[in-house]
Amino acid sequence: MRRALYPAGILLLTSTVLSAGSYIVTTGGDGIRAAKTRTGTVMLYYRVQEDDEERMLALSGVADIVPTVDRGHEYSKQEADDALAKIGALLRKFLRLRKELIILQQQWEAVRNPDTGTAWQIDVLLKQFESSASKADTFRDVCLQLDMLRFKDIQGRYTNQIEAAIGKMRVELFDVEKARVERMVQGEQTVSGYLACKRTVDLLKMCSLPTAQKQVLDDMLLKYRDATVAARYNTARSTFLNGKSVDSYLAGAEVLRELLGAMSEDQKVAADVDRVILSLRKAAGQACAGYDFSFKGYPLSGEDTRCLASTRQFASSVPVQSMQVDEQAYVFPARIPNLAVSGGLLNVPVRIVFNRPQPGGRVFAMVNELTMADGKTQVTLWRMQDPVTVKNGRADVNLAASVPSSGVVAAAMFLAYRPEGQKNGAGEEWIAASLGCPLMEDGRFR
């Protein structure tokens, strides 16, 4: 049967009965959630929202009206039984309203059969927090579980107990973690220490702390940040000044590089670190005669510069496609490869210049990356069997390889290293330490 809706302006004589939230089910099988309803002799008046215009529906078109549960309101067992009886009858008759009706049914069942163990569950969760070593993580987990209990507590019987538990946890959380942050701030000013402190503060700020407490934590972290930056500046400066050499420059620059990575989210501090890095490069250029540090911090000697005058087109400069890149090496041949003359045979001395200190015993390889005509990438890796000797930030190796040309669109060589701690064998990981040295483009050797 079609619902009969009438404009609210039509006047009918009614004997009005008012009710709060309701779920109206029509004889046609429609469901209407109403914020307010009032019943007359022949009409049902309802508002979908409290401030909506009142609508009308003929009572002859109404199958039944189920009251919805008002959270925090006390209901008698009889009220719950009456509502559940209506819902049961409607479920049997109107299958397409099953989803909405089952939700109402679950809510009224929670009213009729309240969980008597809720108070005990709240106490257990509070004790779980109090005994936890990781207060911030446990706080968030316990609050989530308390919210679930709050949702099930339809009549709001345990609202005060839940709020009291959260308030108690919040006080203890701040007191314990604030003391922990204070110990961090008073400790050694290292990048790892600062990052650990920042992770702790960021986690605490996600725990719904009051604004004033968040500000206290922010102020402490800011103090630690400034002290760490100043300490690392001093370390980088003293590391370089103790040697005034290429190696001492690389060691000092590494301190600043690590600091820059830690401060990347703070644009102002990161810009200041960049300024100090440039200042260190300038100082190194003045102290290390014959070296130029202006290109990405690489210590290029006069010999390197002269060599690059003729081989720069083969120097590492193109993106690597086949593996993760951690650029820290500038690679270029000591003479022009002449691949077109040799038919793709590559036998050439290669200079590698580093802008970072290299761990002793690091394993390197040269990688040939081919872009095929079908768009696929082929990779060949030549592991360097002999240890690479790095002195003054540079190493010389001889590269003997064959670069195929058939079906190849582009070819590039790059330096890769194996992360420390990896064992030999299949499946080992390699990371590109340089960009690619272009050997072929558009199907032709350069």
Q: Which of 55, 56, 57 is nearest to 27 (CA)?
A: 57
Name residues whose C-beta falls within 8 Å of residue 305's C-beta, 6 or more positions apart in sequence: 292
- Residue 92 domain-assigned? yes
pLDDT, position 64: 94
Mean pLDDT computed over 15-34 = 78
Tell me how many domains the chain contains: 2
- Residue 25 domain-assigned? yes
Evaluate if pTM is beyond 0.75.
Answer: no
Phi/psi at 423 (5° precision): -90, 155
CA dist 236 and 230 (Å) reads 10
Q: Which of 155, 77, 167 is nearest to 122 (CA)?
A: 167
pLDDT, position 442: 61
- Residue 261 domain-assigned? no
Write the DSSP string, 283-324.
HHHHHSTTEE-TTTT--EEHHHHHHHHHHGGGSS-B---SS-
Domain with residue 331: its CATH number is 2.60.40
Q: Which of 148, 206, 152 is nearest to 177 (CA)?
A: 206
* Domain's final residue, options 112, 140, 160: 112
pLDDT at 424 over 90: no
pLDDT, position 401: 73
Average pLDDT, rounded, for the chain: 87
Provide the β-strand partners of residue 413: 368, 437
- Residue 276 domain-assigned? no
Model confidence over 183-222: pLDDT tens digits? 999 988 999 999 999 998 998 888 888 899 999 999 999 9
Question: Where does the pLDDT of residue 29 fall: very low under 50, low under 70, confident under 90, or very high at 90 and above?
Answer: very high
pLDDT, position 153: 81
pLDDT at 5 over 50: no
CA dist 441 and 436 (Å) reads 12
Q: Which domain holds residue 379?
A: 301-445
* Domain's final residue, options 84, 112, 140: 112
